[in-house]
Amino acid sequence: MKPVREEISDLLSEKGEDRFSSPQEARKKAMDFLARREYGQTELIRKLADKGFNRDVAAEAVLQLTEDGLQSDERFSESFVQSRINQGKGPVRIRVDLGQKGIGESTIEIALEEADPDWRALAREQRTKKFGPDLPTDFKEKARQMRFLQYRGFEQGHIQAAVGAGDE
């Protein structure tokens, strides 16, 4: 028994066309993905390639969508940053996650600046949510809470403010 992709390719090749080499088909599939949520260029190309499209065809289709204004790394970054802030993630973690999705540093910084949350307040909120309202009194507990906030992606100044180790 053949894999599904090969069966589809065999059916299409009988008509003289290969769905996975067609820029129109790649564009349609990319638009299906974008209808559900925003994607960065790199992530969208990777997603199309994972679905079986030729990587060059996928890149061409995504580039055309970007030129048409249907795909935007800036829009994706803004949406992603707001989503991660709502999850209680800090700026360090957000930068790393966006970088892994192929977003450029300047686009990431612009999205973080535009969101402009109060990182110290967010760190305090996350600490209180996880550990309760009382500040840690002993070194071991303070270190545990600081590691938690560091894992969430907060910078040292935000962490210090959240655990009461520094003046605001």
Q: Please give the CATH architecture assigned to the domain spanning 119-163.
A: Orthogonal Bundle (1.10)
Give the model's pLDDT for residue 16: 41
Contact 155, 117 (CB under 8 A): no
73-86 vs 105-115: helix crossing angle, rounded to 10: 50
- pLDDT score of 40 more than 70: yes
- The model's pTM is 0.81
pLDDT for res 2: 61
User: Which residue ranges does the chain devote to CATH 1.10.10.10?
Assistant: 73-115, 119-163
Fold of 73-115: Arc Repressor Mutant, subunit A (1.10.10)
Quote the pLDDT of residue 168. 39
pLDDT of residue 21: 81
